[in-house]
Amino acid sequence: MTEEIVKSALSKVMYPGFTKDIVTFGFVNTITINGTDVSFNVEITSSAPEVAQQIKDEATQELTTVGATNVVANIKAPQIPRESSSKGKNLAPHVKNFLMVSSGKGGVGKSTTSVNLAIAFAAQGLKVGLLDADIYGPNIPRMLGVEDIKPEINGNKVLPIKAYGLEMMSMGALMEPGQSLMWRGAMIMKAIEQFLRDILWSELDILVIDMPPGTGDAQLSLAQSIPVTVGLTVTTPQTVSLDDSRRSLDMFKKLDIPIAGIVENMSGFIAPDTGVEYDIFGKGTAGPMAKDFDTKIIAEIPIEMSIRTGGDEGKPITFVDPTSASSKRYAAAAATIWAQVEEINANGGVSNASVQPTTPPGVSACSTGAAPAKAAPAPQGESCGTGCGCH
C-alpha cells in the first residue's frame, strides 16, 4: 500500500452534495500507512453528522477495494453551531457575528485591514460581509475595485455589491464620486441603522465593519443597534497613534464589546531591494498597551508597497498574493479572531442590553438629550457626549 494508491482511492469519494472529491477539495491530510492499515484525517466544512458518516463509509469501501484491511478515517468537522448566541437589540438578526474594526486615528490602515481580514475570513470558508461604515471617508469600494458599481435597489431595500467573494455596502456606493455629506448626530444614527436594516445581507457568518476613526456617534449607534461580537483596534506604532488607540480600546470596554486584539500596522519596512528592515514608525510598540487591556497584538503588518497599490487599484493583497508574508499574517489574524468568536458564542455570546438609551421606545435619545443606560465613552471631536452630536 502506498500513499498514491490511498490518494487515488480517496479521490473516488465525492464530497456529499458536490461534484468534486475530498482529495481535490484538499480536505485529506496526514495519511499514515502501516502494511495494509491505513489512517488519515479529513477536514470537512460541514458540521452535519451524516456528511461525516457518508465520507467515512465510502472511504472505507474504496480503500478496502484496493487492499486495505484496517481503515481509520478521522473526520474533523467544524463545531456546531456556527450560530451566534448573542442577545439584545439586533437590527440584522440574520448576520450571526459582527466584527467592529476601530482606530483612534484616520490613515492608520483600518480600511486596508478590514478588506484583507474580510477576504481572509472568506478564504477560510466563512460567508462574509464588509460594511464600510466610515461615512466621512468611504474608501472600501475603491479598495475592492467596485467604485463604479451602483447597487441594485429592491423596493426600499438595497442589495449588497459582490466582490472577491464578499458582500459589501458603503456610503461611497450610494453617493456620487467626490460628493461630501455633512453628518449630524441624528443622521449618523439613521445611516448606521439603515446599513444594518435596509441592506439585504445574506445569512452571514460574520460582518466586518470598518468604522470611522475615533469614538463618537457612529460607534455608539452601532453598538446599540447590534450585539457586536468582537472589536479590533488598528494602530500604527507611533506614540501619538497609540494614545488614540487606547481610547478606542477603552470604548470597547465601556460598550461591553470583547476585544479581539490589536493589529499593529505599518510595523517596520523591509526594503525590497536589500532586505534591510527599517523601523520607520517603530515596531512592537503596541505591546504594553495590549497588556494594559489584557489583549494581544494579533498581527504586525509591515509597510509594503503591494498593500498600498492593492488598495489603490482594488486588488487586495490577500486575494492577489495569498502566499505573501503579509497575507499569511492577515490569515493568521482572521483565524485568531474566528476562534475567539466561536469561544464567545460557546460561552453564551454578547449582549448590548446595557448600552441601550434610557428613553422609551420610539423616542430618540437625541430629542431628549438622554444619555445611554450605561456611561457611554466620551465621544471625541465633533460630539458632545450624548451619542447624538451637538452641532
Ligand X SMILES: Nc1ncnc2c1ncn2[C@@H]1O[C@H](COP(=O)(O)OP(=O)(O)O)[C@@H](O)[C@H]1O
Q: How far is CA 107 from each of CA 102, 103, 194, 308, 316, rounded to the nearest angstrom? A: 12, 9, 26, 12, 17
Give residue 320's identity as a one-letter amino acid code: V
Find which of ligand X, Mg ion, none residue 303 binds, CB within 5 to 8 Å per kind: ligand X
Closer to Mg ion by CB, 96 or 110: give it: 110
Q: How far is CA 62 from each of CA 23, 38, 256, 346, 372, rounded to the nearest angstrom? A: 13, 12, 52, 37, 62
Q: Do residues 200 and 151 touch, judged by C-beta distance below 8 A?
A: no
Closer to ligand X by CB, 225 or 327: give it: 327
Q: Does residue 311 touch ligand X according to CB under 6 A?
A: yes
Q: Does residue 108 touch ligand X according to CB under 6 A?
A: yes
Q: Does residue 352 touch Mg ion according to CB under 5 A?
A: no
What is the DSSP-derived secondary structure letter of residue 351? B
Pairing of strands 37-43, 98-102: unpaired
- Residue 123: how many CB atoms within 10 A of its CB? 18
- Least gap, CB of 65 to ligand X (angstroms): 52
- Least gap, CB of 120 to Mg ion (angstroms): 18
Cα gap 133→16, rounded to integer Å: 39
Q: Which of 97, 111, 340, 383 binds Mg ion (CB under 5 A)?
A: 111
Q: Give Dmax (Cα) for the chain.
A: 78
Q: Kindly report whether the peptide bond that precedes residue 372 is cis, defined as omega within 30 degrees of 0.
A: no
Q: Does residue 301 touch ligand X according to CB under 6 A?
A: yes
Q: Does residue 236 touch Mg ion according to CB under 5 A?
A: no
Find which of Mg ion, ligand X, none residue 207 binds, CB within 5 to 8 Å per kind: none
Q: Does residue 170 touch Mg ion according to CB under 5 A?
A: no
Q: Does residue 205 touch ligand X according to CB under 6 A?
A: no
Task: Find the part of the chain contacting Mg ion (CB under 5 A) among 106-114, 244-252, 300-308, 383-391.
Answer: 106-114
Instruction: Single out the residue of 298, 132, 163, 168 nearest to residue 230, CA to CA.
Output: 298
Q: Does residue 233 touch ligand X according to CB under 6 A?
A: no
Task: Find the part of the chain contacting ligand X (CB under 6 A) among 16-24, 100-108, 242-250, 271-279.
Answer: 100-108
Beta-bridge partners for 200? none
Number of shown-chain residues binding ligand X (CB under 6 A): 17
Cα gap 94→79, rounded to integer Å: 19
**How big is the CA angle at 93 (ends 91 and 96), to the nearest 5 degrees?**
125
- Least gap, CB of 140 to Mg ion (angstroms): 8
Task: Find the part of the chain contacting ligand X (CB under 6 A) among 29-37, 99-107, 248-256, 359-367.
Answer: 99-107
Q: Does residue 111 touch ligand X according to CB under 6 A?
A: yes
- Least gap, CB of 130 to ligand X (angstroms): 13
Q: Does residue 107 touch ligand X according to CB under 6 A?
A: yes
- Least gap, CB of 262 to Mg ion (angstroms): 17
Closer to ligand X by CB, 42 or 218: give it: 218
- Least gap, CB of 285 to ligand X (angstroms): 15
Q: Which of 10, 75, 266, 298 binds ligand X (CB under 6 A)?
A: 266
- Least gap, CB of 27 to Mg ion (angstroms): 37
Instruction: Single out the residue of 99, 138, 145, 185 nearest to residue 367, CA to CA.
Output: 185
Q: What is the four-CA torsion angle of 202, 204, 206, 211, rounded to 10 degrees?
A: 10
Site for Mg ion in 126-165 (CB under 5 A): 134, 139
Closer to ligand X by CB, 241 or 386: give it: 241
Instruction: Single out the residue of 127, 40, 122 nearest to residue 318, CA to CA.
Output: 122
Q: Do residues 110 and 138 touch, judged by C-beta distance below 8 A?
A: no
Run of H or E including 331: helix 325-346
Q: Does residue 300 touch ligand X according to CB under 6 A?
A: no
3-state secondary structure of 187: helix
Q: Do residues 25 and 55 touch, judged by C-beta distance below 8 A?
A: no
Sheet with 28-34, edge to edge strand ranges: 28-34, 37-43, 70-76
Q: Does residue 285 touch Mg ion according to CB under 5 A?
A: no
Q: Does residue 106 touch ligand X according to CB under 6 A?
A: yes
Task: Find the part of the chain contacting ligand X (CB under 6 A) among 40-48, 108-116, 178-186, 273-281.
Answer: 108-116
Closer to Mg ion by CB, 137 or 165: give it: 137
Residues that bind Mg ion (CB under 5 A): 110-111, 134, 139
Residues that bind ligand X (CB under 6 A): 103, 106-112, 139, 265-266, 301, 303-304, 307-308, 311
